[in-house]
Each structure stands twice: as C-alpha cells, then as structure tokens.
Structure 1
Amino acid sequence: MDPDEDLLARSAREPTAFEPLVARHTTALHGYLVRRAPDAADDLLSEVWLQAYAHRATFDAARGSARGWLFGVARNVLSRHRQSAARAA
C-alpha cells in the first residue's frame, strides 16, 4: 500500500493515483463534516474532493501529512460554506 503522501504527489502526473486517497479518507472527512454541518455534509464532501483534486499540486509533504492537508481543505470548504450561509441570512 502506497503512503498517502506518495499517492498525492504522484497524482499530479498520474491522476488515477488520487483514487486510493478518496477510498481511504472519505469516511473520516465525511464524519468531520457531518459533525459540523450535518445538513450539507454530502455536498461539502463532494466539494472537498473537487478542491483537493484541483489543488493537489500544491501539497507539500515538508509541511505535513496528506491527511492533514485533506482536513485543511475540508476546513476551508466548511468555512466558505458558513460564510456563504451567513451572508444569505
């Protein structure tokens, strides 16, 4: 089993290398989002994966783990969601 950091780095040139990351981390990321935004968690999870894939080349293993990076992406997606909801209220 390849380490997450290797898969994330490799996915920049081999997009299918991203797939195992989705399989490994979906449950944990979904749980994180459900606890914070239960009604929007499914949509937010989709956005997390879209953002993570789009910005995968920005991952820097020297700054931390791939899991931590993914949770950072989730935190940012959740923050944008909350800001948008606050503006709409």
Structure 2
Amino acid sequence: MKSRYETEVERISDAVIIERSHPDPARFAALYDRHAMEIHRYAARRLGPQAADDITAEVFVAAFRRRDRYDLTCDDARPWLYGIATNLIGKHRRAEVRFFRAIACTPTWHPPLLVRWPRVVPECSPPSQAPTPREHVACGLVSPPPARWPSH
C-alpha cells in the first residue's frame, strides 16, 4: 500500500515538484524517483551501463542546481532532463575522443618525461623510440617553436 505522500507525488506535475523544491530541497528527490530509470536507460543506450550511472547522477545534480531556471509552465520535466543528458553525453564523447587521440599519439614505450623547453625529452629513452618534436606538437604536449627546433 502506498503512503499518502507517494500518492500525492504521483498526481502532481514535475513543475510543482520543482517549485516546491525551492524552499524544501528534499522534495526534488521525487523528480529523481520519477525519471531516473528512464534517463539511465537513455544514457546506457548511448554510452553503456557504467558511464550511464555517472551521466544519470550528473543529470540530476545539474537539474537540481539549475532548478531555479526551470520554466514552471511546462508540467513535464522530461524534455529538460533529456536535454541535460544529451549535453552531458556529448561532453563525455568529446572527452573520450580527446583521450583516445592522446593515447594514439603516445609512443609504445613510456619513459618518465623531463621537460626541457621548447620540447619534452624522455629520460633515458633509446633514440629510436624517442618521440620526435613534431609528435609532441601533434599531441599538444608542447606548443610549436617560433622558428625552428634548436639542435641539441
């Protein structure tokens, strides 16, 4: 049997829940209970179950922080939550692309690096496996030199 609170929450709109969460932030949990599984499924179809857990949590944290900007004339908050989820999924994918590009630029042998301007020189690396200055610039490890690479 459902409690009176659970029955009341089922009948009221998302806009009312968000409005009531301003003076009483704990009421925002009803919005989470109502839509979290749906948002999680949406994220899981796009990123997989592990990343979907993080995205779902981030969606509701962002929604909670921005609840004062929610348009209370919209009774259903799902389009708003899906918009937040879509933006976070895009950020996640862009971060993944940057990560994989950086991995692709790294040499297979990973020595500790010493920074010597204007290039990064691996400590004790065999010359055949040391990354070239061009590879460092391509990976974004250093900025390109003004004229040419110094010879040392």
TM-score over 0.5 for the pair: yes
Q: How far apart, CA to CA, are the structure 2 residues paired with 1:10 and 1:76?
A: 26
1:13: Cα distance to partner? 2.3
Asked whether the equivalents of residues 39 and 82 of structure 2 are also in contact (C-alpha less than 8 Å), the reply is yes
Instruction: For structure 1, list consecutive stretches of 5 or more residues without a partner in the other structure.
Output: none
Distance 2:72 2:35 in 1: 17
Q: 2:89 aligns with which of 57, 78, 88?
A: 78
Query: Is 1:46 the counterpart of 2:93 in the alignment?
Result: no
Counterpart in the other structure of 1:19: 29
* Residue equivalent to 1:88: 99
Higher strand fraction (1 or 2): 2
Question: Which residue in 1 is equivalent to 2:114?
Answer: none
Match of 2:68 in 1: 57
Cα displacement (A) at 1:55: 1.0
Q: Indicate whether 1:34 and 2:44 are aligned.
A: yes
Q: Which one of the candidate residues 71, 78, 99 is aligned to 1:67?
A: 78
Unaligned runs of 5+ in 2: 1-10, 101-152
Structure 2: distance between partners of 1:26 and 1:88: 28
- What TM-score does the superposition give when structure 1 sets the normalisation length? 0.88
- The CA deviation at 1:62 is 4.0
Cα distance, 1:8 vs. partner? 1.2
Question: Which residue identity does 2:90 align to in structure 1?
Answer: S
Shift of 1:63: 6.2
Identity over aligned pairs, percent: 35
Larger proportion of helix: 1
Q: CA offsets per residue over residues 40-80 of structure 1, 9 Å max, x none?
A: 11111111111111111111134673111111111111111
**Structure 2: distance between partners of 1:61 and 1:84:** 33
Answering whether residue 17 of structure 2 is matched by residue 7 of structure 1, we say yes
TM-score w.r.t. structure 2 length? 0.54
Over 3 Å off, 4+ runs = 61-65
